[in-house]
Amino acid sequence: MNGKMEQSFNERKAERSFLTTYTIHLFCIFAGIVMMDTNRFVPFLVLFLIVACWVVYLRQKGSYRDRVFFTVVAVQASLILYVMNTQEILSVIPPFLAIAVLMGLYGIPELLITGYITFTLIIIYHLCIEHTFCIRTIDDIYRYLFPILSAYSVIWVTHFWVIQREKSRKRMMGIIQNLKSAELSKDDFMANVSHEIRTPINTISGMSEVILREELPEHIREKVQDIQSSGRNLLSVVNDMLDFSELQSGKQTLVEVSYNITSTINDVINMANAWKGDKNIELIVDCDTDIPRSLIGDEQKIRRVILGLVNNAFKFTNDGCVTIEIGFRKEKYGINLFVSVRDTGIGIDEAHQEKLFTTFSQVDTKRNRQEGGVGLGLAIAQALIEQMGGYLSVKSHLGKGSEFQFVIPQKVEEMEPIISIGNIINKFNILIYVDMEQFDMMAIRDEYTNMIIHMTSQLNVRFHLCRNLAEFKRRVEREVYTHAFISFKEYKEDENYFEDLSQKIKIVAIVEPFQNKEIQSLAIMRMFKPFYVLSVVRILRGEGSDSTRSQNYYKRSHFVAPEAKVLVVDDNLINLKVVSGLLKPYQIKVETALSGAEALEKIERRDFDLVFMDHMMPEMDGIEAFHRIRKKKGMYFKEVPIIALTANAVAGAREMFLAEGFQDFVAKPIELSVLERSLKSILPEEMISLVDHNISVANPQNDG
């Protein structure tokens, strides 16, 4: 469409330029005719032809070629009128050659044929009617024949040039068409690859999620989490390829929704813990407690960028720490969201930092091959940040680590901060016992100290930081405390003491998941690393210990809808099981259909509150099934909400489904936050009952 508009604009511009030149030329002919003192109607006829050409152009009468032919014929007619009133053929040749060259600039070979005809008629007129020249001597040949042959030569050369130009244009158009076909083929290929790869990934991730919601032994849970993590890593590679393709073609679009940053942070931490694995690395999270609860932006792309930077940090860090810092600054339009990811990894020298954001380029190719990846992550992150109106910067020193920072503007839907612990601040008196000497690297000590100081100052709760066990015991004897946060190493220093103390105050052990079983006392609460403000506030609000949360987290949902009836349509039986399992915690009544035809039968027999419709199905795809439902008689069929549920997640898919009339779009593999947001926005409010056990501290209304 844009190509046609550009071509039309260029043609109109060329037509206007040539017509202006012709007008000047015709006025010169007009002046010449007036000076010849010819019949009075001749000058007015020339003027009429000039005006007619402009009227046809301004009113855009006919096609471009039709207008061009009209203009050229009118100009040549004016020239013939001029010729009929001149007694010297040589004076006709220069204006005619000027007209011939201008005709050539149109790029239409047929126009030059009219030039041959017109010039031949002029020669015949002067030779046979006016008898203005005859060739008797050699001088006559030089005087008449040479200019005439030269004029024919100019017309022929111009004609030949136009023909060659037209052939080149057609070859170029053929190449462009082939490139467009290749681009469309690539898009189709990417769509098919997206669908075919995302379908098994959806099974891996979805079934893992369903299994993790069951009561499982810890060693089984860890293995399932490893499977889920591998599925997510594979999905990350697929997303890199798709994002790169979409960014290259300019099809990547922003999808701004209302979201809560705490959900984004939780997702990032869960993935970061999976990437961390067995590496001896501390994950430190420093989050500003005053970030507005409900923001408006493309949350999926923001999370995508943060995950990319965090993954990169763990990939090139073997010892030390990875720190994620999240803050904001108020602006007139909302806020500037600030995210920093720091690591103590191998670092990058200044000479290679420019290569960081180049696609398919790795600073350390050998190391990158060991760690995996296709060399697109940082380039994609920078492109996505710039698309969202932000910027990305990097600071790095070889052997000392790197820091990636980005800032993006976000609108604010609700200014209430993400941290809210009510009017109970004065009830807390807290001890924190973390022996910084256990960390060999000074960077870890500094990051932890800065995070704790920032957290205590923001919460405005009485915190006391102890450096050793003797100081801890001394403080406990002198003052009454409500909570004590200790790391696993500190707990192992004197297990009996802390188990006895847990009968008097709440002891919270900060542990890795695998260390959980080494704490025998049920009175001691557990907080899985990272130790950061959202986890601390969750403990202060009495939302439970991670020792129990690790078992029942996967059963939780933010609401239930036991009266809701949902139809899930997919040609893959395992996908139906996955979606049914993911909907189970919401207590929704689920029916399934393996084809569009079966869906039509079921939707006629029973009313549903919501339909999830797969796209690529044999015989009748999701879009055709959608339109057949909408064409049925009755308001129910025209109003029942239908959500596109598909692995086709290439650029423009969401817009395409919404344009078809779908109420929403959910991509596979299904992200729980996206699924929950769609359910909450589409199901009737009277069917939804909120559950008061949110994991996010802010209890968001719109958990993104």
Write out the two tokens for 397: 């020193």
Give the single-character DSSP code of 502. Answer: T
21 or 678, higher pLDDT: 678
Phi, psi of 108 (to 5 degrees): -115, 105
| Residue 284 pLDDT exceeds 70 | yes
SS in 3 state form for 649-692? CCCCHHHHHHHHCCCEEEECCCCHHHHHHHHHHHCCHHHCEECC
pLDDT of residue 420: 67
pLDDT of residue 200: 79
Please give the residue that has the higher pLDDT: either 390 or 582: 390
User: Mean pLDDT throughout 666-688?
Assistant: 82
pLDDT above 70 (res 175): yes
pLDDT tens-digit readout, 130-141: 777 666 777 767
- In this predicted structure, the answer to whether residue 698 has a pLDDT above a threshold of 50 is no
Q: What is the pLDDT of residue 208?
A: 81
Does residue 692 register a pLDDT over 60?
A: no
Residue 172 CB neighbours (<10 A) = 10
Residues 6+ apart with CB under 8 A from 565: 588, 589, 591, 606, 607, 608, 609, 610
Band (700; pLDDT cuts 50, 70, 90): very low
Half-sphere CA count of 45, side-chain side, radius 13 A: 15
> 249 vs 312, which has greater pLDDT?
312
Report whether pLDDT(375) > 60: no
Q: How confident is the model at residue 6 (pLDDT cuts 50, 70, 90)?
A: low
| pLDDT-above-90 percentage for the chain | 18
Q: Which residues contact 608 (CB under 8 A, 6 or more apart)?
A: 565, 566, 567, 591, 640
Higher pLDDT, 30 or 290: 290
Residue 284 has a CB neighbour count (10 Å cut-off) of: 22
Contacts of 48 (CB under 8 A, 6+ apart): none
The residue type of 271 is M
Q: b vs e for 364-398, b when ≥16 Cβ sit within 10 Å of the residue's Cβ?
A: eeeebeeeebebbbbbbbbbbbeebebebebebee
Radius of gyration of the CA atoms of the chain, in A: 38
Confidence at residue 543, expressed as pLDDT on a 0 to 100 scale: 63
Q: Which DSSP symbol is given to 284?
A: E
* Residue among 485, 482, 473, 535 at smallest CA distance from 504: 482
- Give the pLDDT mean for 580-603: 90
**Is pLDDT above 70 for 429?**
yes
Exposed, middle or buried by CB within 10 Å (0-12, 13-18, 19+), for 488?
middle
More confident residue, 250 or 366: 250
**Backbone φ and ψ of 660, nearest 5°:** -70, -20
pLDDT at residue 647 in the model: 65
Band the pLDDT of 704: cuts 50, 70, 90: very low
Bond from prior residue into 669 cis (ω within 30 degrees of 0)? yes
| CB contact at 8 A, 439 and 448 | yes
Q: Are 329 and 290 in contact (CB under 8 A)?
A: no
Task: Give the model's confidence band at 1: pLDDT under 50 very low, under 70 low, under 90 confident, else very high.
Answer: very low
Instruction: Calculate what percentage of the chain has a pLDDT beyond 70.
Output: 81
Reported as a pLDDT band with limits 50, 70 and 90, residue 361 is very low
Count of other CB atoms within 10 angstroms of residue 68: 24
CA dihedral 205, 206, 210, 211 (to 10 degrees): -40
Q: Is residue 487's pLDDT more than 80?
A: yes
DSSP type of residue 618? S
**pLDDT value at 157 more than 70:** yes
Mean pLDDT, range 350-374, rounded to an integer: 53
Report, as an integer, the average pLDDT of 397-420.
89
Helix (H, G, I), strand (E, B) or coil at 337: strand
pLDDT in tens, 455-467: 888 888 888 888 8
3-state SS, residue 505: coil
Distances (CA, A) of 582 to 205, 555, 590, 694: 11, 10, 11, 17
SS (H, E, C) 39-94: CCHHHHHHHHHHHHHHHHHHCCCCCHHHHHHHHHHHHHHHHHHHHCCCCCHHHCHH
pLDDT at 192: 66
Check residue 467 and give its pLDDT. 85
pLDDT of residue 555: 46
Specify the residue for token string 């090139």. 316
524 touches 499 (CB < 8 A):
yes
Of 624, 613, 697, 704, the closest CA to residue 663 belongs to: 613
User: Which of 415-419, 526-530, 699-703 has the least mean pLDDT?
Assistant: 699-703
The SS3 of residue 697 is: coil
What's the pLDDT score for residue 142? 73
Indicate the pLDDT class of residue 98, thresholds 50, 70 and 90: confident
- State yes or no: pLDDT of 471 exceeds 80: yes
- Count, residues in the chain: 704
Residue given tokens 């709760």 in the structure block: 461
pLDDT value of position 342: 94
User: How far, in Å, CA of 48 to CA of 30, rounded?
Assistant: 11
b/e 492-510 (16+ beta carbons within 10 angstroms → b): eeeeeebbebbeebbbbbb
Contact 553, 671 (CB under 8 A): no
For 400-428, b/e burial (b = at least 16 CB within 10 A) is: ebbbbbbbbebebbbeeebbebeeeeeee
pLDDT confidence tier of residue 39, bands split at 50, 70 and 90 = low
* Pairing mode, strands 292-297 and 319-331: unpaired
Q: How confident is the model at residue 642 (pLDDT cuts 50, 70, 90)?
A: very high
pLDDT exceeds 80 at position 646: no
Position 602 scores a pLDDT of 92
Please tell me the least confidently modeled range out of 13-22, 353-362, 691-700: 691-700
pLDDT at 154 over 70: yes
Sign of the Cα torsion 298, 687, 576, 659 reads negative
Q: What is the mean pLDDT of residues 211-236?
A: 77
Whole-angstrom CA distances from 52 to 55, 68, 101, 118, 529 are 5, 12, 22, 20, 83
Closest CA to 27 of 116, 95, 84: 95
Q: Record the pTM.
A: 0.60
Q: What is residue 695's predicted lDDT score, i.e. its pLDDT?
A: 33
| Cβ–Cβ under 8 Å, residues 114 and 106 | no
Highest mean pLDDT range out of 204-218, 532-546, 562-576? 562-576
Query: Residue 77: is its pLDDT beyond 90?
Result: no
CA 321/CA 319 separation, integer angstroms: 7
* pLDDT at position 23: 77
Confidence check: pLDDT of 325 > 80:
yes
Is residue 377's pLDDT more than 50? yes
pLDDT at 316 over 50: yes
Q: Is the pLDDT of residue 180 over 80?
A: no
- Of residues 640 and 13, more confidence is placed in 640
**Res 539: pLDDT:** 84
Q: In the structure, what pLDDT confidence band is assigned to residue 423 with cuts at 50, 70 and 90?
A: low
The whole-angstrom separation of Cα 8 and Cα 20 is: 18
